[in-house]
Structure 1
Amino acid sequence: MTPDDVLPAALLERIRGRAAGYDRNNTFFHEDLEELAAAGYLKLFVPEPDGGRGLGLEAAADVQRRLATAAPATALAVNMHLVWTGVAYVLAARGDHSLDFVLQEAARGEIFAFGNSEAGNDSVLFDSRTVATPLVGGGYSFTGTKIFTSLSPAWTRLGIFGKDPQAREGDGELVHGFITRGTPGYTILDDWNTLGMRASQSNTTVLEAVEVPGDRIFRKLPVGPNADPLIFAIFACFETLLAAVYTGIGERALNLGVDAVKRRTSFKNGGRSYALDPDIRWKVAEAAMAMDILYPQLSAVTHDVDALADHGSQWFPKLVGLKVNATETARRVVDLAIRVSGGSTYFQGSELERLYRDVLAGLFHPSDDESAHNTVANAWLGPLED
């Protein structure tokens, strides 16, 4: 199955044609989502016997990269659904079927979103500022605030987690579960007015005693880093699919820059093409070489997840390193593309202007630059001594 089978060129161009309008109006990509769902795109990880595409992470990342060349904000938001279905796929491939119901519900058309991020929580998955209070029957009540909840206007299933501070003899326990669109107690704020990635509509979600029944609680973990397969699966899918989106941004920026250079001519050099200017050629070559390094890294890491490769303690450095390399490379390539394309890209409405704003979001996704470098340094040098 080729990327064109999953995301036909005609559909891709329709999505590309709507991206600027969504961005300009700060509106959700309803038409994109409707067409992607009809094409089976939200079922990339759903097994073929259940009506899905049956793809692995490598193939899914490849089509997400392609989608991002047309509409980065659409691709970024769709990522959140694919993260959860991808986590279910990664766990099942390793013999853990605790999230098989996610794939089953995705097969029936449910849309999953990621409600884990919290303002001021730099522990990310290893602690939570949301309070999870046990209920009779095994359920929990969640109270807290989640930020960057992509797919806010459309999700039907939201994955959340919080901390039960009294569990494990007062050490606390992190509780993971899903709510549905009809669950009472949450509020979606209309607060997504950002520099870029506007169509994702990643609004803040406020949880006020939101009850999750016991059969929708799927993990309870100790506070702090741990080796539970869920943590690996979330990192593996979140970081690689993010990397795929930003790889797509870099790819599109390079192509736009090349097209601009071929069109532009120099007045002072008698109408000579900028494609013949040594300084311009250097910048295009620098961007192309940066992208050439990124593509195989993305392919290798996702392939190894699919192949159940055992990288031991090097797995997390590989995942966070890929994410940082992708976001930083894309940012550098967009900058180079703007430099060779001229002042017209500074005006609102040019595609490179939009990509310039979109690519900056890569700075804020976990793992951030500082956390990633700390992870890699610890893997190679050991932790800092007290």
Structure 2
Amino acid sequence: MSVLDGDLLDRIRSRAAGYDRDNAFFTDDLAELTAAGYLCDRSLADASADQRLLAAYAPATALGINMHLVWTAVARILRERGDDSLAWILADAEAGEVFAFGNSEPGNDLVLQDSVTAAVPDGAGGYRFTGTKIFTSLSPAWTRLGVFGRDDSDPNNPVLVHGFLLRRDPGYRILADWDTLGQRATQSHTTVLEGAVVPAARIVRTVPVGPSADPFIFAIFAAFETLIAAVYAGIADRALELAVAAVQRRISRKSGGRPYAEDPDIRWRIADAALALDAVGPQLERVAADVDGLVDHGRDWFRRLVGVKHHSTEVARRVVDQAIRVSGGSSYRADSELARLYRDVAAGIFHPSDPESVHATVAANLLGPLP
């Protein structure tokens, strides 16, 4: 059963505009969600359903929380496949620790297949990480930061090293540089790693550079893509709800005082948005259920994962656009909720996998790799 009761969600929604206006972190939301047990382990299907609901009330809060839930989902996905190496993440989450995702890097369009961060062995099984991580959501609050870098100590066999940095560890700086168009409350500041040491006990994976069949990499993609899709579906849900309310409220003088809800063109736009959104739910639910159910899609898995993220973010942009078009000029005000959704939904194009990568993945699945 979800801990997201109506009173909690209403309080979270009441704070969203202020966090956005002030470019402030969602401190009170995080405290309430943590106290309610929202950051703890549950199935990917349950987590994605909860995130879709939370995003309809506060998109930036949901997106920030996503980065913690990715790691708990990774640990669960691996455990369900017989790998308990990250079970400690679930225990730490239960104890109130907050995990963040420090993988995105400027200039690295290979995402998890390579890294521009240097990972240098420390001689004791650990590594020193030096590089820059961007879009580090939860920057003001994380206590555990997942990072990765490239170890070139064997030039003929470079490897990618994944580990977790603790908040108290030395060797990193957080830049207060998050001032963006949307998703402002995530406070996803840049993190500069300056020889940050991750000891052997917190090195969780070493994989070759390039595409990897390691279950750890699959788990990251499965959790990240599914939960991102859920957040943007939630934004679309709210945009459609606001649009329906707006056209029922607005009156057209041209039609003799009839509501815009009776205008055929307006009705078409509302229907167009709903039809697009109706297709997102079954796809999202099926992907999450298949991950939880250990369904073996083989080489089709990555096509399905990038597909659900791409479809959800693109449909969300379309739904928000239609909502703006039917809601009138008041939605263009900076303090309107639809204007905020319009800005927040734009972030969807920047999350991996981007549209170019999505289409390349699907084409490779259907046609084989390029020669």
Same fold, TM exceeding 0.5?
yes
1:317 matched to 2:303? The reply is yes
Alpha-carbon distance between aligned partners in 2 of 1:319 and 1:260, rounded to the nearest angstrom: 34
Alignment map for 1:23-172 (pairs within 5 Å): 23-43=20-40, 45=41, 55-167=42-154, 169-172=155-158
Counterpart amino acid of residue 145 in structure 2: L
Deviations 1:344-385 (A, max 9, x none): 111110000000000000000000000011001100111122
Alpha-carbon distance between aligned partners in 2 of 1:338 and 1:149, rounded to the nearest angstrom: 30
Deviations 1:77-97 (A, max 9, x none): 000000001100000000011
Alpha-carbon distance between aligned partners in 1 of 2:94 and 2:268, rounded to the nearest angstrom: 48
Alpha-carbon distance between aligned partners in 1 of 2:133 and 2:175, rounded to the nearest angstrom: 10
Counterpart amino acid of residue 363 in structure 1: I
Deviation at 1:241, TM superposition (A): 0.2
Counterpart amino acid of residue 20 in structure 1: A
User: What residue number does 2:216 align with?
Assistant: 230
User: What residue number does 1:48 align with?
Assistant: none
Alpha-carbon distance between aligned partners in 1 of 2:223 and 2:215, rounded to the nearest angstrom: 12
Deviation at 1:98, TM superposition (A): 1.0
Aligned pair partner of 2:253 in 267, 271, 274: 267
Alpha-carbon distance between aligned partners in 2 of 1:190 and 1:59, rounded to the nearest angstrom: 33
User: What residue number does 1:187 align with?
Assistant: 173
User: What residue number does 1:339 align with?
Assistant: 325
1:258 matched to 2:255? The reply is no
User: What residue number does 1:19 align with?
Assistant: 16
In structure 2, the residue corresponding to 1:41 is in which secondary structure?
Answer: coil
Counterpart amino acid of residue 150 in structure 1: S
User: What residue number does 1:296 align with?
Assistant: 282
In structure 1, the residue corresponding to 2:82 is in which secondary structure?
Answer: coil
Counterpart amino acid of residue 53 in structure 2: R
In structure 1, the residue corresponding to 2:356 is in which secondary structure?
Answer: helix
In structure 1, the residue corresponding to 2:279 is in which secondary structure?
Answer: helix
Counterpart amino acid of residue 131 in structure 2: G
Q: Give identity over the alignment, percent.
A: 64
User: Normalized against structure 1, the TM-score is what?
Assistant: 0.95
Aligned pair partner of 1:278 in 264, 276, 291: 264
Deviation at 1:171, TM superposition (A): 3.0
User: What residue number does 2:357 align with?
Assistant: 371
Alpha-carbon distance between aligned partners in 2 of 1:9 and 1:232, rounded to the nearest angstrom: 34
Counterpart amino acid of residue 151 in structure 1: L
In structure 2, the residue corresponding to 1:147 is in which secondary structure?
Answer: strand
Alpha-carbon distance between aligned partners in 2 of 1:161 and 1:339, rounded to the nearest angstrom: 43
Alpha-carbon distance between aligned partners in 1 of 2:343 and 2:294, rounded to the nearest angstrom: 36
Deviation at 1:308, TM superposition (A): 0.2
Alpha-carbon distance between aligned partners in 1 of 2:254 and 2:92, rounded to the nearest angstrom: 63
For structure 1, list consecutive stretches of 5 or more residues without a partner in the other structure. 46-54
Question: Aligned Cα RMSD in Å?
Answer: 0.7
Deviations 1:108-137 (A, max 9, x none): 111000000000100100100000000121
Alpha-carbon distance between aligned partners in 2 of 1:244 and 1:371, rounded to the nearest angstrom: 20
Counterpart amino acid of residue 81 in structure 1: H
Deviation at 1:170, TM superposition (A): 2.6
Deviation at 1:67, TM superposition (A): 0.2
Alpha-carbon distance between aligned partners in 1 of 2:277 and 2:333, rounded to the nearest angstrom: 26
Counterpart amino acid of residue 140 in structure 2: P
1:220 matched to 2:217? The reply is no
Counterpart amino acid of residue 291 in structure 2: V
Alpha-carbon distance between aligned partners in 1 of 2:338 and 2:45, rounded to the nearest angstrom: 27
In structure 1, the residue corresponding to 2:147 is in which secondary structure?
Answer: strand
User: Normalized against structure 2, the TM-score is what?
Assistant: 0.99
Deviation at 1:107, TM superposition (A): 1.2
